[in-house]
Amino acid sequence: MGVEGIGARVARKEDKRFLTGKGRYTDDMVVPGMKYAAFVRSPHAHARIRGIDSSAAEGMPGVIGVLNGKQMLDDGIGNLICGWMIHSKDGSPMKMGAWRPIAHDTVRYVGDAVAVVVADSVGEARDAAEAVVVDYEELPAVTDAVMALEPARPQLHPEAAGNLIYDWALGTGEAETDAAIAAAAHVTEMTIVNNRLAPNAMEPRAALGVYDAADDHYTCYTTSQNPHVARLVMSAFYNVAPENKLRVIAPDVGGGFGSKIFIYPEEIVCLWASKRTGVPVKWTSDRTEAFLTDAHGRDHHSTVKMAFDADNRITALKVDTIANFGAYMSLFSSAVPTYLYATLLSGQYDIPAIHANVRAVYTNTAPVDAYRGAGRPEATFLLERTMETAARELGISPAELRRKNFIRSFPHQTPVIMNYDAGDYEASLEAAMREADWAGFGARKAEAERRGKKRGIGMSCYIEACGIAPSAAVGSLGAGVGLWESAEVRVNAVGTIEVLTGSHSHGQGHETTFAQLVADRFGVPIDSVSIVHGDTDKVQMGMGTYGSRSGAVGMSAIVKALDKVEAKAKKIAAHLMEADEGDIVIENGEAKVAGTDKTVPWFQVALAAYTAHNLPAGMEPGLKEGAFYDPSNFTFPAGCYICEVEVDPETGKTGIVQFVAADDFGNIINPMIVEGQVHGGIAQGIGQALLEGVHYDPQTGQLLTASYMDYAMPRAHDLPSFKVSHQNTPCPNNPLGIKGCGEAGAIGSPPALINAITDAIGNNDLTMPATPQKVWAAVNAAQ
């Protein structure tokens, strides 16, 4: 390990511009003649549009145009799509209702766009948007997914009878699973709710659409985690423009957490409106618009049965989940509660029979899609709450019950598709318990009792699937795209290096970690390496950043490209030094002939490639190689989290006094960045468990948590200092042996926290977020 190579704690190269306010985000982009869009949004959760009168708005100062959904339809702009086909267990395809970028006949949630105003300034656009008169016929609304499935509830889409999108099953046959449960010595049954979250990236969504009539060409600046997918979808499905006439740029992006994977109406509207009005059109969401229209996360209602034999080994698991999809099917929504959720229901445990049933349901709420962890937090919360409850019911320690059921040999085929490649769950459990001083908890509890506090401890053993994903495998499961990644390594004539990657960076630190790979390979300073991403005109194709895939998939593509560059560089160096190619090593910024003092500086190798004065016979000039990497399997990060809390029984307030994370991410490129990812993930997991929750009024469908006055985000003082450690079983299926770390914190932490609180108060009946009010009520109910 060099000071800047693999395994080094290199400070983030990108932080200088971020910390000094010099980052350049979509809203910072200015192009000549640029104007501003404001959306007219539905104030109703469900209504028919009888008419839109924009005459007053059109006459207001600064207004360039007021556009509506009918015009968009007439111009041939297509429906928004969900890109993953799920078939119900009866074989029928999922029932997808039409999602228009601007509604023209029916609005289905508060915030649904009904018109857009383009004006000289943001203020004028908003003033005019308020003057657009929409005649609505209000319809009854339903916001709860369980209720939406009931007879005689409001129906959202004619395509989806009973609001049911799909009724899907995975795993062991239901009859076989039921039989195992019937034969069990003990069955733990629970109802588990996974609360709906708003993503809350610091940078709100924004888009700038620029139509160039001279070239009949479009440019879209947008807050995207995957600009190439955005271009593909906008071109292939929305008919905005063919790919060669559409450039998508995702510059600095201030957080995504999944919410910026999806293609939203606004970027399509900005592009379309730019052509229609003849001016570049920019839109930037305000925070309330973000709460209303950013795709939410989670929102599952599940029942679970976990069966044990007399030796406390799990014999079967049966899960029935209802997933709230909101008013429309967002881009990856269908995959989240199916192939990113049910496939992880085996957890770290050897479970011979698992049957999962998932129903996806329309409601009059914002669309729901992937949010940090995407399906895996829901699976982990369900499983780890159930394990904890089972341990209490069976009267054995939570660690012992888990140990008894750990998978201990690999590869391990679960009943729910996944084939785990490597892991050592005992190692993380032991590390976490040691770090948390689990054995000393009793004394700490007694001491807290003397201060009038209820102290509790809880654990969670999570597994997730990252490095998504093998293209052929996901294709067979319904994915509309392949999930490989691309890279291109360009060595310049003086030896500096540009790496072009399809992995977009929006907080992950790719400009540093990806450069470390190159520095490690050639021994060049990372300052001589630039990472280029986020522009479809620069990087040919890529699948973007989500699902903790940039390391395992994105960096693997870079490794493949580096292999090709290294091979050619060695040929050149061998030729220059009249040595055998096999004797060349490249390190510390020079090529050497092993066992001799012959060296050629790296820049001379590069220069030789470009002068082409003295290359091996038949070799093409230049030193630039590209690669596509398609993973052969998912990767399986896993770990153990332990949380210790003190509850104030008088107020119900929970204080987190200790949080321990022991994670196995395989090999690690930059431990500092990995720790940062874990810290951020845990903060979001604690946010879900303790503070955050989207509330809609059940009658009106109005969003009650539309600002930070009512939506509780975690703050620094809500969080303890985290104790983070890493165990390492390298991933055998990618060249770097890495598994991914971006989502683990958000996946592993919520059940640890709820297990700790329920342990403290002696009442297992507690839903997230565990607000002081709920905990206080649970404390009282237990007494």
Which residues sit at the interface with another protein, rule CB under 8 A? 123, 126-127, 130, 288, 650-653, 691, 695, 704-705, 707-713, 771-773, 776-777
Whether residue 243 contacts residue 230, with contact meaning beta carbons closer than 8 Å, is answered with: no
Q: How far is CA 351 from CA 169, 171, 354, 465, in A?
A: 17, 11, 7, 17
Q: What is the DSSP string of 98-124?
A: P--SS-SSEE-STT-EEEEEEESSHHH
Q: Please, what is the minimum distance in Å from the beta carbon of residue 651 to another protein?
A: 6
Query: For every residue of 345-398, which 3-state class applies, written as one string?
Result: CCCCECCCCEEEEEEEEECCCCCECCCCCCCHHHHHHHHHHHHHHHHHHHCCCH
CA distance 498 to 565: 12
Instruction: Compute the least distance from the CB of residue 179 to another protein, in Å.
Output: 44
The distance between the two most distant Cα atoms of the chain, rounded to a whole number of Å, is 87
Q: If we measure between CA atoms, which residue out of 459, 497, 494, 451 comes closest to residue 660?
A: 459
Q: Give me the sheet containing 47-53, strands edge to edge.
A: 106-107, 47-53, 133-138
- The DSSP-derived string for 511-528 is HHHHHHHHHHHH---GGG
Minimum gap (Å) between residue 272 Cβ and another protein: 26
Minimal distance, residue 289 CB to another protein, in Å = 11
Nearer of residues 626 and 649 to another protein, judged by Cβ: 649
Q: Residue 756 contacts by C-beta under 8 Å, 6 or more apart in sequence?
A: 456, 457, 458, 643, 644, 645
State in angstroms the smallest separation of the CB of 717 from another protein: 10
Which CB sits closer to another protein, 126 or 568?
126
Q: Give whichever of 134 and 491 is closer to another protein, judged by the CB atom.
A: 134
- Residue 183 CB, shortest distance to another protein, in Å, is 44
The distance of closest approach from Cβ of residue 711 to another protein in the complex, given in angstroms and rounded to an integer, is 6
The DSSP output letter for 689 is: I
- Give the SS3 label for residue 485: strand
Taking the least distance from each CB to another protein, the nearer of 139 and 691 is 691
Helix (H, G, I), strand (E, B) or coil at 24: coil
Sign, Cα dihedral of 383, 385, 391, 394: negative
Smallest separation, CB 691 to another protein (Å):
6
Closest to another protein by CB, 89 vs 715, is: 715
Of 55 and 707, CB closest to another protein:
707
Quick one: 366 or 565, whose CB is closer to another protein? 366
Q: How far apart are CA 10 and CA 3, in angstroms?
A: 7
**Least spacing, CB of residue 693 vs another protein, in Å:** 8
Question: For residue 499, which of 514, 519, 484, 513 has the smallest C-alpha distance?
Answer: 514
d(CA 774, CA 293) in angstroms, rounded, equals: 28
Taking the least distance from each CB to another protein, the nearer of 723 and 774 is 774
**Residue with smaller CB distance to another protein, 178 or 718:** 718
Work out how close the CB of 370 gets to another protein at its nearest, in angstroms, rounded to a whole number.
24
As measured in angstroms, the least distance from the Cβ of 658 to another protein is 21
CB of 715 to another protein, least distance (A): 8
Nearer to another protein, 95 or 196 (CB): 196
H or E element that contains 616: none
Strand, helix or coil for residue 92: coil
Provide the angle, in degrees to the nearest 10, between the axes of the packed helices 556-576 and 510-522.
30
Give Cα 771 to chain centroid, integer Å: 25
- DSSP characters over 656-682: EEEEEEEEE-BS-S-HHHHHHHHHHHH
Q: Which is nearer to another protein, 577 or 777 (CB)?
A: 777
Phi-psi region of 171 (alpha: psi -120 to 50; beta: other; left: phi over 0): left
Using CA atoms, how far apart are residues 376 and 740, in angstroms rounded to an integer?
Answer: 14
**Nearer to another protein by C-beta: 62 or 626?**
62
Quick one: DSSP state of residue 94?
P
> 300: which strand partners?
194, 323
Cα distances from 227 to residues 219, 243, 344, in angstroms, run 11, 12, 28
Asked if 383 and 357 touch (Cβ cutoff 8 Å), the reply is no
For residue 428, give Cα distances in angstroms to 409, 627, 730: 16, 35, 14
Note whether 684 and 454 are within 8 A (CB). Answer: no
Helix (H) or strand (E) holding 153: none
CB of 773 to another protein, least distance (A): 5
Closest to another protein by CB, 130 or 137: 130
Residue 293 or residue 734: which is nearer to another protein going by CB? 293
Give the angle subtended at the CA of 384 by the CAs of 378 and 385, to the nearest 5°.
90
Question: Closest CB to another protein among 86 and 656?
Answer: 656
- The least distance separating another protein from the CB of residue 650, rounded to whole angstroms, comes to 5
Whichever of 11 and 704 has its CB closer to another protein, that residue is: 704
- According to DSSP, the β-strands at 35-41 and 281-284 are parallel
Q: How far is the CB of 113 from another protein (least distance, A)?
A: 18
- Report how far residue 337's alpha carbon sits from residue 341's, in angstroms, rounded to the nearest whole number: 5
DSSP 420: E
Report, in Å, the least distance between residue 776 CB and another protein: 6
Dist CA 133 CA 301 (whole Å):
38
Min dist CB 601 to another protein, Å, is 53
Angstrom distance (rounded) from CA 475 to CA 112: 32
- Residue nearer to another protein on the CB measure, 447 or 650: 650
In the complex, minimum distance from the CB of residue 257 to another protein, in angstroms, rounded to a whole number: 19
Nearer to another protein, 391 or 761 (CB): 761
